Each structure stands twice: as structure tokens, then as C-alpha cells.
Structure 1
């Protein structure tokens, strides 16, 4: 059967494609710009913009299952959720996974109300985010300068999210489930910098900023560091840097039970424990070293 993967060139979509191909599945990988897509051999790369209903019929033609994302190119929740679900149902798609957990848009309720066999995947924090969040700073200065160094999270390797999606799409027994996906351990930001230091054999430090230092340094033009997707979300929503700083301070400084809770749902689905942050960091060690040392 052909399995459709939306957002195929993204952090998670790329891993879903990889795992499905490893399982011998036929994969149609959707991207807005196939000419720039770098995907594993064997994937059928197709052009489609999920925000444009016109191309959905062709995208879903001959597809038996699909991995869906709930946001478009601007990282805003999709307004075309009903169109996507209707196109999938007309094509005879039986099963879908939905990468959810950011902000609910029109896709999630349309999926729940449909006749599709659905499963929601809700990872809390991708380990891959630290490539953009900390990579440049650690390469150039050996320091991460942020507030609340003891804030906690159970980050998950994007490889494991892809494995969960591929398993759900190719096995039965997951309909109607929402999987809260985490790594195997709760770590602090300070502790993760220390782990990166160990695997790169560098003296890396977490330098804690006070909230007032953050307001002074990050609110000026060019002062805001690249922090995963929050800037993209905020720009699309028209939120300025000063307001974004307050949002981030509140998020970092307020313990969140859901965001720090460990689950065993990765192991329940794929039959092995999730990979550790140390394993992920060792795999990406060169990204955190200066170019001459990589």
C-alpha cells in the first residue's frame, strides 16, 4: 500500500519517511518544493501545499494511510482541516496519524468526526530543537545564556517519533488513541548542556540569566536567540519581541505537569525504550563543535 507523509522534509516527517521505507512500504512524500527536497531513495516526492485544497485529490489518490501535520508553512494551525479529511475519505484512506500537540486548529476536530482510523501523536519537546536553539552559541562561545537553567523536560529523539508513527500506520490496535510521547528521562536545561559537553569533550557552560537580563538583552532588535519554533509562531501571529520575551519567561519559569511528565508510551508502541539524550547528542556531536574541531 502507499502511505502518504505530509511535512515530509520536516524534522519529524523525514523520520517517518525513513522508518516506513525501512519497513518496505511505498511512501509518497509531500512537500511544497520537491526540487529542494532531500529525501531517502525510494520515496515518491510529490508537490502539495496543505493550505490549498486544489491539490489534495491528487495527493491522496491511491493512498491507504497517511501521516498528517496540523500546521502549514507558516507554522500556524491549518484552516483546511476539513478539506484534508474529506479528500482522504474520498480517496479511501483508512488510517491516519496526526502530529499534534502545538495548538489545535481545524484538522483535529475534522479527524475526530471522520470515519478514519486515527491516532494522535503528542511529543512534548524534540531533541532536534537544540540544534537550532543551542548549536550556534555552543559552537562559537561554548555557552548557553538563558533563564531558568533548572527547568525540566523529557525531550524525545525525533527518530523515535518517526518510529512510533510508522508502527501505528502499519499495525492495528491504535485507533482513537492519543500518545503523549517523551524520552526516557526528565532533564534540566543545565544538565543537557553538561551532557553535550561530555560527548563533545568540551568545557560547555549554562550561564543563567535573570528575567531582567533577558528583558534587556532579548527585547532589542537582533537580541532574541533562535528558540525552536516560538519566533515563527509569534511572527505569524504578529507578536513583537518584547511580548515574546514575556511569553518565554512565563513558559520557562512556570512548572508544567504535562510538559515534565514521563510516559512509557513510546516503548508500548515500538517495543523498546526511547533513546536517551546522551545517545542523541553523541550522534550530533559535530554540530556542537567549532568547524575546525568537527
Structure 2
């Protein structure tokens, strides 16, 4: 049986679907099992319980464990889990000690390696396409996307592609001991993202530039941890006007990555304007 932590998240949900389609048994962890709304046939359990009986492989998401991943990893090792596929970040390649995202993910990778299990570390680069969901309310109400540094360029990755690499790592031996680094297929500014959303939904979307302080306050109110807010603002500033390097996902999936327009098409109802 495969354990999926973060099972109701952007990557966890499509991963659960892909594992079920492959005929595998899945135990999904959720902070709210009763409200998880996962497919029939999935065994749903509480994160706090972390039931590991019968689990041979696990998909590990740091965000699923606000208290840290050291104890969950130790429990996985003690329970005989043989393989851990961890959702990491390309920020681990940044040695800046002020980059809290990189520091935290490097520590997670070290803990998994020290556990002596088979491992794969997924390192998406270019950001998740799903971060555009932060714009949903503003676009629905007044066609406005609010962002600091609108000229910062990234290569957003569709969550279904991340899930597909995770599924390959869990279902085959192809990626054991590998840290796949991959981005989305195109370098886009945040202004480009707003334009593409408008083109796909058929309604104009304007971008409003926030000051770094305005962005910091908005993200904190949205529940983003302070360390992540600092890291995001630093990253945005560094990416202004610079094409983002493309790290093709083809080598891991055997097909091109899904572009941002496809991601928007998959989430069209989220952005459609509220009728007045």
C-alpha cells in the first residue's frame, strides 16, 4: 500500500487519482478525513494518527506536518517503509542561509537519506502554476490580478505533471536515488500569466503591481508563513526581467510538460467573473 501525505493538496489529489488508475491501494492522510472528498476506494486517515501498517512506499509533503518531518520520517523507518518520494524544491540548490525554503527542504532531504530508505526528491523549478489561485477572488470580482514584481519571470509547473513524476517514482524503480529537477515548459512573467488567464477565460484580466510591503501583508493575511513570505519576495526580486531557465520534464514523463494555458483551462471555473 502507498501512503500519500498532503493528499488533498494540489499535487496530492492528482497523485491519488494516478495511483488508483494504476491499480494500487492508497492510504491518504488528511487533517480533516471526513471532509477530504477523495475517490471511493481510498483509505483516508488523519495526519495526526499517521497509520503506517502495511505501507511500503510513501509520498512525503513537508506542508502536511507543521510540527516538522523528523518524527514522521523516523516513524516511517521504524515501520519498515521501504521507499520515500519527497516533494522538495529546487531552492535546495541555493546555499543562501536566508532562503528559508531551501534550508527547510535540504534538512528534509538529509533526514530521508539518513533513514536508509530508497528515496527520490522531486525538485520542481519555476514555481507551481497553482499559485495563480491566489488571484482567483480578485479576477472573479473585478478582473484584477495583484502581484509584486509583475515582470518577474518563472516557468510554472502544472500540478498534474508533478504528480506524474511522483507516480513514476512510486510505481517503478526508475527514479530511485534521483533528484529530478524540472520546470514548466515556458518562461512567463506574472503579467504574462494574467494575460493568459484572460485569454483562456475570455474575459480581460489586468495586473496591479503591489509594493513588496503590500504583498507581504496580503500573503501573511492569507496564511502564508513569514519565512515563506520572505523567501518569495526575495525570489521575485531576483527574477525581474530575467528569462527563467527551462528544465524539461520530458525525460521523466516521456512527453512535454503541460503549459500554463492548459492549467488555466483546467481551472476555468475558478476565475470566471462574478455576474453583477
| TM-score class normalised by the smaller sequence | 0.7 to 0.9
Question: Could you say which residue in structure 2 is the equivalent of 1:46?
Answer: 45
Count of matched residue positions in the alignment of Structure 1 and Structure 2? 262
Q: Say which SS state the counterpart of residue 225 (structure 2) adopts.
A: helix
What secondary structure does 1:134 align onto?
helix
Q: Is the aligned partner of 1:289 residue 2:272?
A: yes
Alignment of 1:1-294 (within 5 A): 2-49=1-48, 55-56=49-50, 59-72=51-64, 74=66, 78-81=67-70, 83-101=71-89, 102=101, 103-104=104-105, 107-124=108-125, 125-131=127-133, 133-209=134-210, 211=211, 215=213, 217=214, 224-226=217-219, 231-234=223-226, 249-255=233-239, 260-264=244-248, 266-292=249-275
Q: Distance in 1 between matches of 2:166 and 2:264?
A: 22
Scaled by the length of structure 1, the TM-score of the pair is 0.80
| TM-score normalised by L of structure 2 | 0.84
Structure 2: gaps of 5 or more residues: 90-100
Structure 1 moving runs of 4+ over 4 Å: 226-229, 246-249
Q: Where does the alignment leave 5 or more consecutive residues of structure 1 unmatched?
A: 50-54
Q: Once the 2 structures are TM-superposed, how far is the Cα of residue 249 of structure 1 from its aligned partner?
A: 4.5
Distance in 2 between residues matched to 1:24 and 1:65, nearest whole Å: 15
Q: Quick one: distance in 2 between partners of 1:100 and 1:271?
A: 22
CA distance, structure 2, for counterparts of residue 289 and residue 226 of structure 1: 22
CA distance in 2, matches of 1:19, 1:233: 30
